[in-house]
Structure 1
Amino acid sequence: MDVHLGRAALALAFALGATPAYSQSGELTVWSWNIAASSLEAVAEKFKEKHPDVEINVQDLGNDQVFDRLLAGCAAGGSGLPDIVSVENHEAEIFWAQFPGCFSDLTELGYTEEIASGFPEFKRTELEVGDAAYAMPWDSGPVVMFYRRDYYDKAGVDPQDIETWADFIQAGKKIMEANPGVVMTQADLNGDTEWFRMISNEQGCGYFSNDASAIRVNQPACVATLEAIKDVYDAGLLKAANWNEKIQSNTAGTVATQMYGGWYEGTIRSTSPEQAGQWGVYLMPSLSEDGPRAANLGGSALAIPAASENKDAAWAFVNYALGTNEGQVTMLREYGLVPSLLSALDAPYVQQEQPFWGGQKIWIDILGTLDKIEPSRGTPFFGDADQIVQDVQTQYLNGGFPDAKAALDSAAEQIELVTGLPVQE
């Protein structure tokens, strides 16, 4: 889940106001969306067993509604805000930058360094400002390759032999030849930058520097990323498909591989249940042999608005849901939300073979990459930068630039105009 284009500009348009704080004595109201809201409801049932006097009202408002209402509430000095709210990592810095007084500093409620150290650095980078922590890490999206075992087997391809993108291209040609009508993989090339963000994150690059002071989208690792995408595309292995089209391809059996964050496990399992045993997971390829093979796509956090009059109860729930294996694994088991908590790797459920995935212990493979993922700053300008890179990527794949460096130099110049940040030398 990612920030939408124009959100940064929208945030800048609001001015802070002053209205009375919101009060809900004895009850916690939580704003979230989709399966994230459902997972919090599941955790709330277990939390109630330990805290029977606290009522929890989880409201599924939808992603856009949560963002817009949170933005408006912060602009109004906290008026109408809930006790707990879901925030996507990449859009989080919009709020911290524009409305730093709108959220509770969790370090003042019990979020100690010992608790914080239980999460990987990449999940904390966008949630902490100086010594303050404005949100607690929730789900993450460790990137892996979801693949059809039967299609790979028919082509005589062992996924463990695919270590680089060159290996992936060679394997893809064999798989498509052995399975007529099947494409090797898909990406939303017309509406997203998902592949660029995943591979560049793997290579330690991104739109901005990790201190958010400069633009680095045209650095060598990012250039090599865009070149790799074009290599796969030019080989005829990568076809454009949006979210729904990918699900249709999975169900129809016309795609061999999907690269996504670990949360996509629940999507495949729930939308293609008749394919149990036919899917597996392996690590994403790298640009070179022995190169890094870990990245993140998506993920969110929970924050407590400063206007809440139930901060102690709100913190108790947040800490139970996100800071305990019981809370995190409940959400993983019930709804496929991938934990960010490193200790969850030791939970019995995570160690189990998963029947749908051919008996593979996929959560060991997926969660095992968490501590290898490099941080990647979204900054308040993520939405604007992402749209620029998306447009440049489309032009480049269609021959609009002489090479990847020229394409990303253009992107960097455009981002500089929008953000005022310098391009990293």
Structure 2
Amino acid sequence: MKKITVKKLIAMTLSVALSASMLAGCGGSQSAESTASGTTSKEEGAAIAEAVEADPSSVSGHIEVGGWPSGDDGFEAAMAGFNEIYPNIEVELVFTDTTAHHQALQTALTAGSGAPDVAMVEGAYISQYRDSSALCDLNTLGAADLKNDFVEFKWDQATSSDGRKLVAIPWDLGPTLYYYRTDVFAECGLPTDPDEVAELMSTWEGVLQVAEAVSIPGERWLLPSAAYPYQWMFINRDYYDEKLNLNLEREGDLECLQACLDIRNNGWDMNVDMWSAEAYAAYSAGTCVSVAAGSWFSGFLKTDIDPDGAGHWGAASLPGGLPSTNWGGSFLVIPEQSQNKEAAWAFIKYMLATTEGQNAMFKAVDYFPAYTPAWDAAPELYTKGDDYFGGQAPNALAAQIAAEVPVVNNTIMDTTAEGYLYSSFNAGAEAGETPEQIRERLGKDITAACAELKEQQIQTLKDAGAWEE
């Protein structure tokens, strides 16, 4: 029996999917409320957990797993090990782009049918689902026993507001790294060793020094957009405190904004989105010299952006003296509407809560495991030099960063707030505003755009008994 089939969805019927803005505008229990009746009881969950553990060969059937690339490559890399333990489960991967996947998932959860048995959820969206009754409470399946094996801040993101439910198991982290073209740095007389690069760029003055050295206005640029260094300050999406006060004032934020303005005014950025075709082409050509992202970006470089770039890239800690932080990462959930929760839970447990599953996927796609036993089980994956990075070891740096990332307060407003980091900066820069004026503009823009979302978030917290006036 063929254990895995792959369905690549090239187009989605948008008439049955919510727009990205609508999805970002839905929160808490309202965003992911299923019309399906009932939820998995403790007794049902215990029976599922026992079946998965006691007799894996008895767990059978077909499940769909939905997500976005390169998650499918990760699952395929670990599928042989999964099939060995669970020979009677057939897995179909239904993968499309990130936005379309979340649109379709949202629509299916709202309708009460049509969702995959297991679904990936990107870190930007997890706060919209953490209080949802449309997703199985994985604690009923015994997930609570796994808590100490996962990085704390990721487990916290998947836990309901009242602390009672767990709607997702963390897959990976995004320890944030600064990626740079070592060949261009060397050409310009700059250091290429990651520690030396980090030291040189540890101040905003040093960042500007590098920007000037590598940039040829109109031909070569330091960054895709000058807004990104400011975005790095908020990259873990910690815009609001527990009282939902917007917190934009950060140590060194005005110095950072001034550096961003200097980069823009000197023509040292492309003024394009980092995910655009123009940026991708420039990374590969060496005309956009650097970008920062979660460590999963290593896999993007190797497979999608610059597969011929081995030896041309390095990875260091974030510039500007910014602290260790995280960008993104993904989770796996089981919708309550799934008709085969046994097989779904078996899939999640093997892929995310075994060292074999996690490390097979990590080796294939650079998704840094949130499951900490994986780090010790195959230390060579985390410490060995990487030929693509000229013998540097980005994973060792990522492990160090991952251990230092604090728990933060994520909300359903975060994705909307994140978008204004770019638009408000660009508008302020175009208007010739000062850093103080740009920060003030950003605060007004986020407050206005998130007013309704904030009320939804407060109501969700009230419903969970986790809000005090």
TM bracket, shorter-chain basis: 0.7 to 0.9
Q: Output aligned runs, 1:1-20, within 5 Å.
A: 4-9=20-25, 16-18=34-36
- Counterpart of 2:118 in structure 1 is 84
Alpha-carbon contact 1:89-1:299 (below 8 Å) kept: yes
Which of 303, 316, 326 aligns to 1:282? It is 316
Indicate how the Cα distance of structure 1 residues 120 and 237 shifts in structure 2: closer, same or farther if over 3 A, else same: farther
338-347 or 366-375, which deviates more: 338-347
Which of 381, 401, 415 aligns to 1:369? It is 401
Which of 288, 301, 314 aligns to 2:344? It is 314
Q: Distance in 1 between matches of 2:199 and 2:23?
A: 42
Indicate how the Cα distance of structure 1 residues 339 and 18 shifts in structure 2: closer, same or farther if over 3 A, else same: closer
Which of 97, 116, 137 aligns to 1:62? It is 97
Query: 1:46 is aligned with what amino acid?
Result: G
Q: Normalization by structure 1: what TM-score?
A: 0.84
Q: Distance in 2 between matches of 1:236 and 1:120?
A: 40
- Counterpart of 2:330 in structure 1 is 300
Q: Distance in 2 between matches of 1:33 and 1:104?
A: 21
Question: Alignment partner of 1:40: what SS?
Answer: helix
Q: Distance in 2 between matches of 1:14 and 1:60?
A: 20
Q: Distance in 2 between matches of 1:48 and 1:237?
A: 51
The alpha-carbon deviation at position 66 of structure 1 amounts to 2.6
Question: Alignment partner of 1:6: what SS?
Answer: helix
Alpha-carbon contact 1:4-1:383 (below 8 Å) kept: no
Indicate how the Cα distance of structure 1 residues 350 and 251 shifts in structure 2: closer, same or farther if over 3 A, else same: same
Q: Does 1:250 find its partner at 2:283?
A: yes
- Counterpart of 2:268 in structure 1 is 237
Q: Deviations over 1:12-66 (max 9, x none)?
A: 58875346999x9622221112211232232222200111122222211433333
Q: Distance in 2 between matches of 1:343 and 1:229?
A: 40
Indicate how the Cα distance of structure 1 residues 418 and 232 shifts in structure 2: closer, same or farther if over 3 A, else same: farther
Which of 167, 189, 198 aligns to 1:156? It is 189
The alpha-carbon deviation at position 194 of structure 1 amounts to 5.4
- Counterpart of 1:379 in structure 2 is 411
The alpha-carbon deviation at position 134 of structure 1 amounts to 0.4
The alpha-carbon deviation at position 414 of structure 1 amounts to 1.6
Q: Distance in 2 between matches of 1:14 and 1:134?
A: 11
Which of 174, 185, 206 aligns to 2:213? It is 174
Alpha-carbon contact 1:269-1:356 (below 8 Å) kept: yes
Indicate how the Cα distance of structure 1 residues 279 and 412 shifts in structure 2: closer, same or farther if over 3 A, else same: closer
Alpha-carbon contact 1:250-1:272 (below 8 Å) kept: yes
Question: Alignment partner of 1:329: what SS?
Answer: helix
36-45 or 142-151, which deviates more: 36-45
Indicate how the Cα distance of structure 1 residues 317 and 384 shifts in structure 2: closer, same or farther if over 3 A, else same: same
Q: Distance in 1 between matches of 2:351 and 2:140?
A: 18
Alpha-carbon contact 2:168-2:333 (below 8 Å) kept: yes
Greater percentage in strand: 1
Query: 2:23 is aligned with what amino acid?
Result: R
Indicate how the Cα distance of structure 1 residues 226 and 323 shifts in structure 2: closer, same or farther if over 3 A, else same: farther
Q: Does 1:74 find its partner at 2:109?
A: yes
Query: 1:66 is aligned with what amino acid?
Result: H
The alpha-carbon deviation at position 369 of structure 1 amounts to 0.8
Query: 1:304 is aligned with what amino acid?
Result: I
Size of the aligned set, in residue pairs, is: 404
Alpha-carbon contact 2:31-2:128 (below 8 Å) kept: no
- Counterpart of 1:42 in structure 2 is 77
Query: 1:174 is aligned with what amino acid?
Result: A
The alpha-carbon deviation at position 249 of structure 1 amounts to 0.7
Q: Deviations over 1:330-366 (max 9, x none)?
A: 2222223232223333322222221111111221112
Q: Deviations over 1:293-344 (max 9, x none)?
A: x222222100011222332332222122112232222222222323222333
- Counterpart of 2:294 in structure 1 is 261
Question: Alignment partner of 1:255: what SS?
Answer: coil
Query: 1:7 is aligned with what amino acid?
Result: L
Unaligned runs of 5+ in 1: none
405-414 or 141-150, which deviates more: 405-414
Query: 1:135 is aligned with what amino acid?
Result: A
Query: 1:349 is aligned with what amino acid?
Result: L
The alpha-carbon deviation at position 378 of structure 1 amounts to 4.1
Sequence identity percentage: 24
Q: Does 1:323 find its partner at 2:353?
A: yes
- Counterpart of 1:359 in structure 2 is 391
Unaligned runs of 5+ in 2: 1-18, 41-58, 192-196, 458-469
